[in-house]
């Protein structure tokens, strides 16, 4: 099967929004609201959208819903932005099947999360991603988020994965700058390291990272894009000032389990995305007040 060159992924952009999944009042998939949200994100600095990631509540989306979401986004907005499909799971066979279906739809890239709960060995992790990559020709970004999965992809295994033609990058949310630095240093040329935590974007850029797969870009996409541009243009002090200014927002959107806060923020802004599906429920009164105070401070919402 023909593979993509790693260099071809660079046009996917530096700011990818890990998009929430809009639901209606009955908590059904709301594609009309999805369209409005994608339009808003395109207009506000996102180079691409990741669908059915953690922020998109992938654990409570059926395969049918995921494929409907991918198809709608690709058909309606594929000429305006990059569409990245979250097709990973803790079942290699299932991940392959869903990835193949997403490829048929024509998405631009796949995001594959580290298998969770069953806690494979490091060699098992390599074989999992290798098996999926062998079955599709799309570019793949692996997603390392040990706080969610209880399983960390070591820098050694990530470097080995970078040698596979169509594994083109990693979304790194381990928070381990030594590990991330080793990946940047030792991986194949053209392999891209994305920050998986908004508050770590600038530190990861400083060790050679490429961009961010972001939650905060729902609210400040242009500002994040500006921070990255400033850093890459050598305006490091300005980038640092932007990072410091937005720091409280970067971390407040994780005041409780993501995507509960960012969905509340969007709804408060008048961008209706509905609630989260159980077992995720709205914030308690104390958290909600604390979060709204942050949104008011940054003028994300008005009083």
Per the residue annotation, which of 77, 126, 143, 210 is the catalytic one? Answer: 143
| pTM of the shown model | 0.95
Distance of CA 137 to the CA centre of its chain: 21
Looking at residue 303, its pLDDT comes to 73
- Has 171 been annotated as catalytic? yes
Q: Which of 24, 17, 97, 23 is nearest to 61 (CA)?
A: 23
d(CA 90, CA 180): 23
**pLDDT of 167 above 80:** yes
Looking at residue 295, its pLDDT comes to 97
Q: What is the mean pLDDT of the chain?
A: 95
**pLDDT of 2 above 60:** no
Q: What is the pLDDT of residues 138-149, one digit of tens each?
A: 999 999 999 999
Distance of CA 33 to the CA centre of its chain: 19
Looking at residue 3, its pLDDT comes to 39
User: What stretch of H or E contains 51?
Assistant: strand 48-51
Per the residue annotation, which of 66, 171, 225, 263 is the catalytic one? Answer: 171
Backbone φ/ψ region at 272: left (φ over 0), alpha (ψ -120 to 50), beta: beta
Going by pLDDT thresholds of 50, 70 and 90, the confidence category of residue 223 is: very high
Looking at residue 8, its pLDDT comes to 54
Among 101-110, 214-223, 294-303, name the one with the lowest average pLDDT. 294-303
- Has 126 been annotated as catalytic? no
CA 39-143-20 angle, to 5 degrees, is 30
Report the share of the chain in percent with pLDDT over 70: 97
Domains of the chain and any CATH numbers: 12-236 (3.20.20.70)
Looking at residue 11, its pLDDT comes to 76
- Terminal CA-CA length for the chain: 56
Q: What is the pLDDT of residues 127-139, one digit of tens each?
A: 999 999 999 999 9
């Amino acid at each position: 099967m023909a593979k993509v060159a790693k260099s071809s992924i660079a046009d996917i952009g530096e700011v990818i929004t890990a998009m929430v999944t809009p639901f209606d009042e009955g908590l059904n998939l709301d594609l009309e609201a999805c369209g409005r949200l994608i339009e808003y994100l395109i207009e506000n600095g996102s180079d691409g959208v990741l669908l059915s990631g953690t922020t998109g509540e992938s654990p409570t989306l059926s395969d049918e819903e995921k494929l409907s979401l991918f198809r709608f986004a690709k058909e309606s907005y594929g000429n305006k932005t990059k569409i990245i499909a979250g097709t990973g799971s803790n079942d290699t066979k299932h991940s392959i099947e869903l990835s193949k279906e997403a490829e048929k739809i024509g998405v631009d890239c796949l995001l594959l999360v580290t298998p969770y709960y069953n806690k494979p060995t490091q060699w098992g992790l390599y074989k999992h991603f290798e098996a999926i990559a062998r079955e599709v020709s799309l570019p793949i970004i692996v997603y390392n988020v040990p706080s969610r999965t209880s399983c960390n992809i070591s820098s050694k295994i990530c470097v080995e994965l970078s040698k596979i033609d169509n594994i083109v990058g990693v979304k790194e949310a381990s928070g381990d700058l030594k590990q991330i630095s080793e990946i940047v240093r030792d991986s194949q040329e053209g392999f891209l390291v994305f920050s998986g935590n908004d508050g770590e974007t600038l530190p990861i850029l400083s060790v050679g990272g490429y961009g961010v797969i972001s939650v905060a870009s729902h609210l400040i996409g242009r500002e994040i894009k500006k921070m990255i541009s400033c850093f890459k243009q050598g305006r490091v002090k300005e980038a640092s000032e932007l990072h410091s200014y937005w720091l409280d927002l970067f971390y407040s959107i994780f005041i409780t389990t993501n995507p509960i806060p960012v969905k509340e923020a969007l709804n408060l802004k008048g961008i209706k995305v509905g609630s989260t599906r159980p077992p995720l429920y709205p914030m308690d009164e104390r958290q909600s007040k604390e979060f709204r105070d942050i949104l008011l401070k940054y003028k994300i919402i008005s009083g």
